[in-house]
Amino acid sequence: MALKIVKGSIDRMFDKNLQDLVRGIRNHKEDEAKYISTCIDEIKQELKQDNIAVKANAVCKLTYLQMLGYDVSWAAFNIVEVMSSSKFTYKRIGYLAASQCFHENTDVIMLTTNQIRKDLSSPNQYDTGVALTGLSCFVTPDLARDLANDIMTLMSHTKPYIRKKAVLIMYKVFLKYPESLRPAFPRLKEKLEDPDPGVQSAAVNVICELARRNPKNYLSLAPLFFKLMTSSTNNWVLIKIIKLFGALTPLEPRLGKKLIEPLTNLIHSTSAMSLLYECVNTVIAVLISLSSGMPNHSASIQLCVQKLRILIEDSDQNLKYLGLLAMSKILKTHPKSVQSHKDLILQCLDDKDESIRLRALDLLYGMVSKKNLMEIVKKLMIHVDKAEGTTYRDELLTKIIDICSQSNYQYITNFEWYISILVELTRLEGTRHGHLIASQMLDVAIRVKAIRVFAVAQMATLLDNAHLLTGNMQRNGICEVLYAAAWICGEFSEHLENPVQTLEAMLRPKVATLPGHIQAVYVQNAAKLFATILKNQEGNTDSTAAQETSQMMIDRLPLFVQSANLEVQERASCILQLVKYIQKLQQKDVEVAEEVSALFAGELNPVAPKAQKKVPVPEGLDLDAWINEPPSESESEDEQPKAIFTKEEPKHSRPRHTEVDEKELARRREARKQEQANNPFYIKASPSSQKVYQEAPGVEHIPVVQIDLSVPLKVPATTPSHPTGLPMSDQYVKLEEERRQKERAEKKKKEKKKRKEKRSGRGKKHDSGPESEEDITPAHVVDIVTEEMPENALPSDDDDKDPNDPHKALDIDLDNLLETTARRPLADSEKLPVRSHRAAGAPKSSAEDGEAENATPQEPKKKSSKEKRDKKKDKERDRKRSKEEKKKKKHKHEEKEEDLLGGQAEEPVVQSEETKEVEAQPTSTSAEVSDLDFWLSNAPVPSNTQEAATVAEAAPAPEAPAGTAADSEPEEPKDTETEESKSSKHKKKKQKKEKEEKEKKKKKKHHHHHHHSDGGGEESVQNGTVEEEEPLPPMSNYCLLAENSYIKMMMEDADQVCDIQGNLQDGSQVVVSVIFENKSDSFLKSMEFNVLDSLNSKLQRPEGSGPHDGLTVPFQLPPGVSNEARFVFTVQSIVMPQKLKGTLTFIVKNEDSSTHEKLDFKLHFTCTSYLITTPCYSDAFAKLLESGDLKSSSVRLEGVNMPFHHLLARICFHHHFSVVERIDSCASMYSRSIQGHHVCLLVKTSGQTVSIDAKCDEPTLLGNVLDEIKQTFSQC
Partner 1 sequence: MIKAILIFNNHGKPRLIRFYQYFAEDMQQQIIRETFHLVSKRDDNVCNFLEGGSLIGGSDYKLIYRHYATLYFVFCVDSSESELGILDLIQVSCSFVFVETLDKCFENVCELDLIFHMDKVHYILQEVVMGGMVLETNMNEIVAQVEVQNRMEKSEGGLSAAPARAVSAVKNMNLPEIPRNINIGDINIKVPSLSPF
Site for partner 1 in 321-350 (CB under 8 A): 321-322
Choice between 321 and 1129, CB closer to partner 1 = 321
Round to whole Å and give the CA distance between 523 and 518.
Answer: 9
Asked if 128 is part of the footprint of partner 1 (rule: CB under 8 A), the reply reads no
> Are residues 1032 and 1001 in contact, defined by beta-carbon separation less than 8 angstroms?
no
Q: How far is the CB of 65 from partner 1 (least distance, A)?
A: 10
Among 236, 365, 682, 1115, binds partner 1 (CB under 8 A): 236
What is the residue-wise DSSP string for 1032-1097? PPP----EEEEE-SSEEEEEE---EE--SSS-TTT--EEEEEEEEEE-SSSEEEEEEEEE---SSE
Asked if 230 is part of the footprint of partner 1 (rule: CB under 8 A), the reply reads no
| Closest by CA position to 1053, among listed 1075, 1033, 1032, 1021 | 1075
> Are residues 456 and 491 in contact, defined by beta-carbon separation less than 8 angstroms?
no
Among 35, 126, 365, 392, binds partner 1 (CB under 8 A): 126
| Element counts in the chain: helices (H) and strands (E) | 51, 16
Considering only 94-102, 540-548, 670-678, 1090-1098, which stretch makes contact with partner 1 by CB under 8 A?
94-102
Asked if 217 is part of the footprint of partner 1 (rule: CB under 8 A), the reply reads no
Choice between 317 and 1112, CB closer to partner 1 = 317
Asked if 164 is part of the footprint of partner 1 (rule: CB under 8 A), the reply reads yes
Burial class from Cβ neighbours inside 10 Å (0-12, 13-18, 19+) for residue 515 reads middle
Asked if 796 is part of the footprint of partner 1 (rule: CB under 8 A), the reply reads no
Among 42, 190, 354, 933, binds partner 1 (CB under 8 A): 354
Q: How far is the CB of 956 from partner 1 (least distance, A)?
A: 25
Considering only 126-134, 251-259, 815-823, 1179-1187, which stretch makes contact with partner 1 by CB under 8 A?
126-134
Asked if 320 is part of the footprint of partner 1 (rule: CB under 8 A), the reply reads yes
Among 34, 48, 87, 1183, binds partner 1 (CB under 8 A): 87
Asked if 66 is part of the footprint of partner 1 (rule: CB under 8 A), the reply reads yes
Choice between 136 and 333, CB closer to partner 1 = 136
Considering only 88-96, 854-862, 863-871, 889-897, which stretch makes contact with partner 1 by CB under 8 A?
88-96
Among 98, 109, 132, 1265, binds partner 1 (CB under 8 A): 132
Round to whole Å and give the CA distance between 985 and 1031.
Answer: 25
Q: How far is the CB of 136 from partner 1 (least distance, A)?
A: 3
Among 13, 33, 623, 827, binds partner 1 (CB under 8 A): 13
In angstroms, the first-to-last Cα distance of the chain is 96
Choice between 96 and 419, CB closer to partner 1 = 96
> Are residues 972 and 873 in contact, defined by beta-carbon separation less than 8 angstroms?
yes
Cα-based angle 853, 856, 859 (whole degrees, multiple of 5): 85
What is the CB neighbour count within 10 angstroms for residue 579? Answer: 23
Asked if 165 is part of the footprint of partner 1 (rule: CB under 8 A), the reply reads yes
Round to whole Å and give the CA distance between 35 and 668.
Answer: 80
Please, which residues bridge with residue 1228 across strands?
A: 1221, 1242
Asked if 28 is part of the footprint of partner 1 (rule: CB under 8 A), the reply reads no
Choice between 100 and 465, CB closer to partner 1 = 100
Asked if 62 is part of the footprint of partner 1 (rule: CB under 8 A), the reply reads no
Among 148, 208, 229, 511, binds partner 1 (CB under 8 A): 208
Cα-based angle 518, 520, 522 (whole degrees, multiple of 5): 70
Choice between 130 and 367, CB closer to partner 1 = 130
Considering only 91-99, 578-586, 899-907, 1057-1065, which stretch makes contact with partner 1 by CB under 8 A?
91-99
Asked if 24 is part of the footprint of partner 1 (rule: CB under 8 A), the reply reads no
Asked if 576 is part of the footprint of partner 1 (rule: CB under 8 A), the reply reads no
Backbone angles phi, psi at 1104, to 5 degrees: 95, -15
Asked if 432 is part of the footprint of partner 1 (rule: CB under 8 A), the reply reads no
Asked if 83 is part of the footprint of partner 1 (rule: CB under 8 A), the reply reads no
Asked if 168 is part of the footprint of partner 1 (rule: CB under 8 A), the reply reads yes
Round to whole Å and give the CA distance between 257 and 290.
Answer: 8
Q: How far is the CB of 274 from partner 1 (least distance, A)?
A: 3
Asked if 158 is part of the footprint of partner 1 (rule: CB under 8 A), the reply reads no
Asked if 1 is part of the footprint of partner 1 (rule: CB under 8 A), the reply reads no
Asked if 92 is part of the footprint of partner 1 (rule: CB under 8 A), the reply reads yes
Residues 1149-1168 within binding reach of partner 1 (CB under 8 A) = none
Q: How far is the CB of 382 from partner 1 (least distance, A)?
A: 21
> Are residues 413 and 779 in contact, defined by beta-carbon separation less than 8 angstroms?
yes
Amino acid at 338: V
> Are residues 1190 and 1184 in contact, defined by beta-carbon separation less than 8 angstroms?
yes
Asked if 353 is part of the footprint of partner 1 (rule: CB under 8 A), the reply reads yes
What is the CB neighbour count within 10 angstroms for residue 48? Answer: 11
Choice between 69 and 795, CB closer to partner 1 = 69
Q: How far is the CB of 242 from partner 1 (least distance, A)?
A: 9
Q: How far is the CB of 354 from partner 1 (least distance, A)?
A: 7
- The beta strand positions in 941-1054, using DSSP E, are 1039-1043, 1047-1052
Residue 1145 is inside which H or E element, if any?
A: strand 1138-1149
Among 161, 365, 1083, 1115, binds partner 1 (CB under 8 A): 161
DSSP helix/strand/coil, 822: coil
| Closest by CA position to 280, among listed 323, 232, 336, 241 | 323
Choice between 317 and 829, CB closer to partner 1 = 317
Asked if 69 is part of the footprint of partner 1 (rule: CB under 8 A), the reply reads yes
Asked if 310 is part of the footprint of partner 1 (rule: CB under 8 A), the reply reads no
> Are residues 823 and 175 in contact, defined by beta-carbon separation less than 8 angstroms?
no
Asked if 206 is part of the footprint of partner 1 (rule: CB under 8 A), the reply reads yes
Cα dist from 1272 to 207, 628, 1032, 1042, whole Å? 49, 82, 16, 20
Among 114, 115, 264, 318, binds partner 1 (CB under 8 A): 318
Burial class from Cβ neighbours inside 10 Å (0-12, 13-18, 19+) for residue 249 reads buried
Asked if 60 is part of the footprint of partner 1 (rule: CB under 8 A), the reply reads yes
| Closest by CA position to 653, among listed 662, 644, 661 | 644
Asked if 17 is part of the footprint of partner 1 (rule: CB under 8 A), the reply reads yes
Residues 246-285 within binding reach of partner 1 (CB under 8 A) = 271-275, 277-278
Among 37, 45, 48, 103, binds partner 1 (CB under 8 A): 103
User: CA quadruple 769, 772, 773, 778: dihedral positive or negative?
Assistant: positive
Considering only 22-30, 76-84, 425-433, 1165-1173, which stretch makes contact with partner 1 by CB under 8 A?
22-30
Choice between 22 and 1180, CB closer to partner 1 = 22
Cα dist from 723 to 162, 399, 466, 478, 726, whole Å? 72, 24, 16, 19, 7
Asked if 19 is part of the footprint of partner 1 (rule: CB under 8 A), the reply reads yes
Choice between 22 and 660, CB closer to partner 1 = 22
Asked if 93 is part of the footprint of partner 1 (rule: CB under 8 A), the reply reads yes
Q: How far is the CB of 213 from partner 1 (least distance, A)?
A: 9
Asked if 317 is part of the footprint of partner 1 (rule: CB under 8 A), the reply reads yes
Choice between 137 and 607, CB closer to partner 1 = 137
> Are residues 12 and 23 in contact, defined by beta-carbon separation less than 8 angstroms?
no
Among 67, 601, 960, 1035, binds partner 1 (CB under 8 A): 67
317-333 vs 273-289: helix crossing angle, rounded to 10 = 10
Round to whole Å and give the CA distance between 999 and 1010.
Answer: 14
Backbone angles phi, psi at 341, to 5 degrees: -105, 30
Number of residues that bind partner 1 (CB under 8 A): 84
Long-range contacts of 943-949 (CB under 8 A, 24+ apart): 943/1032, 943/1035, 943/1209, 943/1212, 943/1213, 944/909, 944/1173, 945/909, 945/1173, 945/1175, 945/1218, 946/1024, 946/1025, 947/987, 947/990, 947/991, 947/994, 948/909, 948/923, 948/924, 948/987, 949/1024
